[in-house]
Amino acid sequence: MSARTFAVLFFAGVITIMGSTREGLGADDGKAGLAKATFAGGCFWCTEAVYAELKGVKGVTSGYTNGKVPNPTYKDVCTGLTGHAEAIEIEYDPAVVSFEKLLEVFFATHDPTTLNRQGADVGTQYRSGVYYHDDEQKRIAEQVIAKLDAARVFPGKIVTEVVKAETFYPAEDYHQDYFARNPAQPYCRAVAAPKVEKVRKVFKDLIK
């Protein structure tokens, strides 16, 4: 069994054992019954593609979060000087998919142990992050990370930052649904497609 496969199986156990009195609903986005989750796990093309597959996910927006420059462009963020992370904002129905499940997929589909890097993508904009919308999301994320580290599921210590969600700026239109519209693009074929296939296989009960 590979380390990553074990991580997926262990994480599922962590979620089951943890339980919670609430679902980690996140901020109400104005749409009845929906909540928000914001994650950064490297290039947002990959992260968006993964979550677009899941039941209960009503929308996924690629963008830039937790930086210091208003209204950044992709070119700005790529410099690494704006402080933003490439991230996704998820609108989801917590009655269908819980925050815990979204986290399970998050940790199973990127490397949370590499600081400011995912594979060949290097820079602070590619950092791993959970940007919480309420105290319950914060509690759940911190508890899960502590358990994963204690069990040494990954070969290194998890460096995912868990900080309050700040202003999220949607990325340019051509970044939205990028994988779905450009499946033959070399980066999508090499990096995004394997992640999507993994989710379809490992989390098949969550697929739409």
DSSP-derived letter for residue 54 is B
Contact 141, 132 (CB under 8 A): yes
**Could you state, in order of their start, the residue ranges of all structural domains in the chain?**
3-206
In tens digits, the chain (208 residues) has pLDDT values of 344 444 455 555 554 444 443 444 555 555 679 999 999 999 999 999 999 999 999 999 999 999 999 999 999 999 999 999 999 999 999 999 999 999 999 999 999 999 999 999 999 999 999 999 999 999 999 998 999 999 999 999 999 999 999 999 999 999 999 999 999 999 999 999 999 999 999 999 999 9
**Distance in angstroms (rounded) separating the CA atoms of residues 39 and 48:** 10
Q: Which residues are catalytic?
A: 43
> pTM for this one?
0.87
* Predicted local distance difference test score (pLDDT) of residue 13: 53
Place domain 3-206 in its CATH homologous superfamily. Answer: Peptide methionine sulphoxide reductase MsrA (3.30.1060.10)
**Distance in angstroms (rounded) separating the CA atoms of residues 138 and 26:** 10
Please give the order of strands across the beta sheet that includes 57-65: 161-164, 128-132, 35-41, 85-92, 57-65, 168-170
Among the listed residues 139, 140, 115, 119, the one whose alpha carbon sits nearest the alpha carbon of residue 129? 115
